[in-house]
Chain A
Amino acid sequence: MHSRLRITALALGIAAAAFGTARAQDLKSFEQKITTKVLPNGLTILICERPDAPVFSYSTFIDAGDVNDPSGESGLAHMFEHLAFKGTSQIGTTDYAAEKVALAKVEEANAAYEAEYLKPVGRDEKKLAELKKAFVEATDEAHKFVVPNQFTDIAERNGAEGLNAQTGLDETEFFWSMPENRLELWAYLESSRLADTVPREFYKERDVVIEERRMRTDSNPEGRLFEQFVATAYVAHPYGRSGIGWPSEVSQINATEAMEFHKKYYVGANIVVAVVGDVKASEAMPMLEKYFSRVPAGPKPEEMTTVEPKQFAEKTLEIRDPSQPIYMEGYHRPDYRAPDNAVYDAISDIMSNGRVSRLYRSLVRDQQIAAEAEGVSPYPGDKYPSLFVFFAAPLPGHTPQEMRDAIHKEIEKLKTADVTDDELAMYKTRTRADLLRGLADNQGLANDLAEYQTRYGDWRELFLQLDKVDKVTKADIRRVANQVFVTGNRTEAWIATAATAAQKAAAGKDGGAQ
């Protein structure tokens, strides 16, 4: 389910799919440990008792991510995630009544500034400067009521470990671990920020998020490649849009928009909270219910109507960049609910998992043209139709085109001959073992349980997936490969190394390369 593109020390790597399940008695043992409850406001609480050490981990899973950003507001879900650390009407303020008035003035000042700034003709620069000044004064005024970082301060002083959040295209997750005697304090903090968010210090935090964009995307060759790659592969669905936000849009998101996003998506029916650790459900559930009932009820937000249309022509993208070459290509595939979902996982495993994988053995070990080569899915998200992505980092002296040709040869083999019995069995064994290994970690388990509860309406699917894994056949793999890995369904992208102006000027002087 995790489709997060990550960057390894060398080039790029993709988090392995953690699908799978254990034997029946494992599901049974988890059924004894897990209690779920849907509150009247629609919010689902899931408790998994694992009393090995006096700690717990939690994951709050919101079924909304940057794919839900309204048009012109890319990066909004992520921006809101940052806002959720800024406190509430009780936390982080010296006088909320006065602060609320001051914050309303900040919004007015920002709206006035933006209106002038965006004038297509006749923008008055002098007036713009005045409006800017008024905006700064308004934020300074609002800032007088702020107790900075009080929310995180309370959490950290009470032993929060691994305190963080992440916004994906499909979801937003908040999580940390704590000593078990802070469970009620946590419930207060977490339910408060879900129910009672205040658009505090929004515009400074927006600057922080833009710095995050510079770090992850603008100043990172792989970040630049990934952003352009999905933008090329998708024409209609928001998976093609920058998740962290296009610079012009993320820099103009305002607090009013963020609060509207909150109102629509942070409703009970759209939230699952999973707690794993030294927690007794019989004692904790009534307390948690009391706190989390504060989250507003509200209808489950309407589903997206946009479906990416069938691609009808191959697309290619070359980025001339001073960095070293990387090759990637993607093929559109259906979403995670597709009957063939496990078949894609099998293909990914056989092509990419470890030194026995086909791409490693072919491109890295035998042909010795790549340092790394993998094929994984789903990317860039999993909730909606996504891509099956192949990528390779060539060895020095080898080209992206050689990567492409070698990958295509391996894909062709999948289409024309069955995988071996050993390969298929290996996929099934490893999937089962990986699921079991994942059960040892409170935080990982909380994240998985919350995610499966959201995506399938039942955490048991984490285990029941094995049935689908076991049913995958050699014929399935060949059929899916022939359906999906076709030229017209492909987007290719690569970095072609180009010297910078300075390097060109320096070339020949010392023979060095940068």
Chain B
Amino acid sequence: MQAPALLVTVPLLGALLISITGRLNRKVCFPLAAVSLGVSLYLSILLLFAVLTEGEVFYKMGGWPPPWGISYHIDHLNALVLVVVSLVSFVNLPATYRYVHRDFADRTGPFYALYVLMVAGLLGIVVTGDAFNLYVLLEIAALTGYALIAMGEAEAPLASLNYVLMGTIGASFYLLGVGYLYIVTGSLNMWDIASLLPNLYQSKAVFAAFAIMMIGIWIKMAFFPLHAWLPRAYVYAPSPVSSLVAPLVTKVMVYVMIRMLLSVFTPDFAFSTLELSRAVVWLAVVAIVGAALLALAQQNLKKMLAYVIVSEVAYMVGGAWLGNRAGLTGSILHISNDALMTLCVFLAAGNIAYKGRGLDFSDLGGLFEKMPFTMAGLLAGALSIIGVPPTCGFFSKWYLISGAIQAGHYGFLVALLFSSLVHTVLFFRVIERCYFEPVGQSHGGHSSGKAMEEAPLSMVIPLLLVAVGLIVLGIYSRELVVNIIQYAVPASMV
């Protein structure tokens, strides 16, 4: 079956098609994008079912066996993240329509081409089994990201340029790590490398490869203190872009990190041989606390959300590096949960911004009356980020805390609780503003009184779908863990 290859090539070709036909007829861009992403979504779900029923799926590009050819290797971890990526990008698409129509009308073709191309890059990162191929797709996703973010106003090009510089360092470090691995093993295929590495665990080159790759990946996932590019890039990006980029890019990089930890450098190396895990979890603790404090200092909703992303990333890093089954389960579960929660809150922020309101806290007055559905969505996302059952955020926190208790790492436990409390304060500050303050504090007198000024349906429906999804996903956590994530964590982990 050709699904793995089609998964990436369909959006790739779709992007090409959109950029060409977009010059001729603007109206065809959105349907084309929808079709490409819809096909990808369908294929990723097919792949997930294939993995669940038949086990891992191997696909050799062009029929060349590895290590000569590039192979796509889809196991439970991949399959889950593939569905998450394609679902998030597909659900976000309707919400972009009105925006692009209003603000980017002359650049509709390029916008959707970049959008679909970015998704192709992200899907490719997740599905590939070749380390160098991952670098290429990483850069595809990154470059399209830079371009999309730069489409915003004001400081966007500068923020994007900053992102370019830092992101390139990150990707280059990753490439360097791949180079070192190639020197030592002579192979670029992840699974091949994994079979060749165990004899070489004591080698300094392998350690250097690991360290450099990790740092590169951490830069790209915005692990504090390497996160400096994220807040400005995500704040100044236009709303339809930030609701695509924010949920996905950092999470896919977390996936890459977990893939490196589990499949390339096996847990034996990463957790036992290196004896670094406790130190890295302490780094995560610092990251969580630092990001939480920075978030408290913000006066703008989107900027606050950007720092929330930074602390969520730190959750996942810490959880993965705890080195036990519960921690890894929490980390992987959090990939899907966080993607959805972030999508939810950024969609809500996008809705608010679409109606012409600023996103500074002082502009948020009276929103509960004006935009009740958007606020319902924001509330659901907020509760999930805080970790209130039965939303999904609670369940990944459950595993992360369990992992911390089992590993005896009480610093991480305290950091998790601390950041939950900080998130409570952060979001209730916002909700208070929206609930208590009369409408339009900073815009002076308002004419419509109590009438509702909700965002258009194409933006509200995705938001509400995701908000409901947060609760449904929470209730189905058990199914997710027992059927999928359980197999994603290597059997040897306790």
- A, B co-complexed: no
Query: Which residues of B does A touch, CB under 8 Å?
Result: none
Query: Which residues of A does B touch, CB under 8 Å?
Result: none
